[in-house]
Amino acid sequence: MIRILAIETSCDETAAAVVEDGRRILSNVVASQVDLHAQYGGVFPEIASRAHIEAIVPVIEQAMREAHMGYDDPDAVAVTYGPGLAGSLLVGVNAAKGIALGRGLPLVGVNHLEAHIYAHWLNVTDDDAATPSLTFPPSAEGTDRETSPPQAGGIEGGLEFPLLALLVSGGHTELILMRDHGDYEYLGGTLDDAAGEAFDKVGRLLGLPYPGGPSIQEAAKGGNPAAVDFPRAWLEDSYDFSFSGLKTAVLREVETYSTPPQGQLLTDLAASFQAAVVDVLSAKTAQAAEEYGVTGVLLSGGVSANTALREMTTERVSVPVHYPPPFLCTDNAAMIGACAYRRFIAGERAGWDLDVVPGLRLV
């Protein structure tokens, strides 16, 4: 039995978790800074870094307490070292080093993008749903554990490689072929804005609260996705994406109204924008799944919490489409623990010179 204390501070969530054998969540604490950044309509790096410094110790202590563990008990300490905001990453990396060095524990450095994919290996039980482990839930979305049934055991539950990961977050949009644990091939990615970034920017244009993703999903309820035929950048013969033209098209549309869109008009705009993003993401995912003969698709990252994306991808892809419950789609430390477990059992250890790599890539 291997228990890993995992720490995540790459963006605007201060998170710590204890994960057993890469699958069982013993604790999962997330302190979201969403309210702090909402007034700026996006993450303010200086403020994020300062907020991590304030939250990191109480968050780690709570994760340890909920896992009923002392600091000598974990088998390793894992931490996200990139990609992300340098000042934010530094807080987690230094906290992890401090605990590991102080207690003589091995240190494992984790790539945040890989960890989003490893959220699929976590078991989600009724127990997790019952544990009040999210101290400051990122949003109502973050605590909604009903929309996705627990995935019965990921790979060990009967799935096999190769798998296709659609990684859609605030900073990334990539299609990745996963041939085995740690064996990735980059098939394509965004040439400009990430999908989550597009949701956040369009959310701002529509006057919706930050972050735009959950706000647009909520605003789009009851809307007509065909009300406005927003452009889709198909970028034929590639698995690349582009969302900046779509963002500009929404801006142009909004500019045609004399007052900010409200009511049914706002609902229709949100639904039409969401449909345009989901259309391209799901179509390219379906095409790649077919071309590479994968056994399943892993929707990963914050945007994979999007219900329309889940539904449309499931409809279009001929193999099973998996998505973690929303609280494991957005940033959390349980996924860092799941990913670190694979690295740890493969013998990987970080040195005391582990540094942050804000531009770290998966492949």
Return the residue of 331, 340, 343, 344 that touches Zn ion, per CB under 5 A: 331
171 near ligand KG4, rule: CB under 6 A: yes
Taking CB under 6 A as the criterion, which residues in 297-336 touch ligand KG4?
301-303, 305-306, 330-331
Taking CB under 5 A as the criterion, which residues in 166-225 touch Zn ion?
169
Instruction: Report whether 246 contacts 252 (CB < 8 A).
Output: no
Q: φ and ψ at 177, to 5 degrees? A: -90, 125
Q: Which residues are 296's β-sheet partners?
A: 163
Least distance between ligand KG4 and beta carbon 77 (Å) = 21
196 near ligand KG4, rule: CB under 6 A: yes
92 near ligand KG4, rule: CB under 6 A: no
Strand order in the sheet with 13-20: 24-32, 13-20, 3-8, 76-82, 107-111
Least distance between Zn ion and beta carbon 225 (Å) = 26
- The mark string for 331-360 relative to ligand KG4 (x by CB under 6 A, - otherwise) is x-----------------------------
Dihedral in degrees, nearest 10, Cα atoms 260, 264, 269, 275? 160
Closest to 309 measured CA to CA, from 192, 300, 76: 300
The greatest distance separating any two alpha carbons of the chain, rounded to the nearest whole angstrom, comes to 64
Is the Cβ of residue 105 or residue 119 nearer to ligand KG4 in the bound state? 119
141 near ligand KG4, rule: CB under 6 A: yes
Q: How many helices (H) and strands (E) are present in the chain, helices listed first?
A: 13, 10
DSSP string, 139-150: -HHHH--SSSPP
Least distance between Zn ion and beta carbon 106 (Å) = 24
Dihedral in degrees, nearest 10, Cα atoms 255, 257, 263, 266? -30
Least distance between Zn ion and beta carbon 109 (Å) = 16
Size of the site for ligand KG4 (CB under 6 A): 20
240 near Zn ion, rule: CB under 5 A: no
200 near ligand KG4, rule: CB under 6 A: yes
Considering CB distances under 5 to 8 angstroms, the limit depending on partner class, which of Zn ion, ligand KG4, none binds residue 213? ligand KG4
Instruction: Report whether 341 contacts 108 (CB < 8 A).
Output: no
Least distance between Zn ion and beta carbon 181 (Å) = 20
Size of the site for Zn ion (CB under 5 A): 2
Instruction: Report whether 91 contacts 52 (CB < 8 A).
Output: yes
Considering CB distances under 5 to 8 angstroms, the limit depending on partner class, which of Zn ion, ligand KG4, none binds residue 325? none
193 near ligand KG4, rule: CB under 6 A: no
Return the residue of 169, 173, 267, 285 that touches ligand KG4, per CB under 6 A: 169
212 near ligand KG4, rule: CB under 6 A: yes
Secondary structure letter of residue 210 according to DSSP: S
Question: Token pair 């749903």 is at which residue?
Answer: 129
> What is the DSSP pairing of strand 296-300 with strand 163-168?
parallel
Interface with ligand KG4 (CB under 6 A): 11, 141, 169-171, 196, 199-200, 211-214, 217, 301-303, 305-306, 330-331
